[in-house]
A and B are shown apart, each in its own frame.
Chain A
Amino acid sequence: DAGVIQSPRHEVTEMGQEVTLRCKPISGHNSLFWYRQTMMRGLELLIYFNNNVPIDDSGMPEDRFSAKMPNASFSTLKIQPSEPRDSAVYFCASSPLRRTGELFFGEGSRLTVL
């Protein structure tokens, strides 16, 4: 079975540019999570969706960040405009909507903003 698929795996961009990260969750999973990982702050939860509906976006750092889930098989995380402090590895994870909460992570998108 295919796992969670993220693209791109690596992105290098210049400050001020728009960045779009993409995620395809595991088929049949109803919940999708976006995390960001840095050395300084560790793994931070940005936002999560249940059945394509955003449930908790309290971790989104500021208005420059937005996330969408137009259907059950696709989600995007957009940063506009990007800043050097956004440099991090962004992970997408999906989970079946049941009470155990086990997460299946993608391999991440490493973003470098110059």
Chain B
Amino acid sequence: SQQGEEDPQALSIQEGENATMNCSYKTSINNLQWYRQNSGRGLVHLILIRSNEREKHSGRLRVTLDTSKKSSSLLITASRAADTASYFCAPLIQGAQKLVFGQGTRLTINP
């Protein structure tokens, strides 16, 4: 399978707390990407981490990648109500061009 599998399927936390979402995949990758989807909207690219990188930051987002375990995590620090959305990971498999998405993690931030 070329898709990433997100875990947990749903996560509900209080505003201000940190949110961690995990992703596992099965084959060698060129990079791994995280996307956000707000209700009724299209997916928006958040961050990309290359296979030779272990950690990457973008604002309140922190992504880690462990290619030996074929896993990645997305950490959102100091969560806000506006972070409520579904989050998808998408590994770009070596030699492939297409991204295959899993079911995502549905994140709810409670005020």
Q: Which A88-103 residues sit within 8 Å CB-CB of chain B?
A: 91, 93, 99-103
Of all chain B residues, the one with the shortest Cβ separation from A56 is: B98
What residues on A are CB-neighbors of B78 within 8 Å? Answer: none
Are A42 and B102 also in contact (CB < 8 A) when A91-B43, A101-B30, A103-B45 are? yes
Of all chain B residues, the one with the shortest Cβ separation from A3 is: B42
Are A106 and B42 also in contact (CB < 8 A) when A42-B104, A101-B92 are? yes
Q: Which B32-63 residues sit within 8 Å CB-CB of chain A?
A: 33, 35, 41-45, 48
CA distance A33 to B35 in the complex (A): 16
Secondary structure of the A contact surface, majority rule: strand
The verdict on B100 contacting chain A, using a C-beta distance below 8 Å, is: yes
CA distance A35 to B98 in the complex (A): 11
Q: Which B69-104 residues sit within 8 Å CB-CB of chain A?
A: 88, 92, 97-104
Are A45 and B42 also in contact (CB < 8 A) when A99-B30, A100-B31, A101-B92 are? no
Return 24 A-B CB contacts under 8 Å, by A number: A33-B98, A42-B101, A42-B104, A43-B43, A43-B104, A45-B98, A45-B99, A91-B42, A100-B30, A100-B48, A101-B31, A101-B97, A101-B99, A102-B48, A103-B33, A103-B35, A103-B43, A103-B45, A105-B42, A105-B43, A105-B44, A106-B42, A107-B41, A107-B42
Known: A93-B43, A102-B33, A108-B42. 8 other contacts (CB 8 A): A42-B102, A48-B97, A50-B97, A91-B42, A101-B97, A105-B44, A107-B42, A108-B41
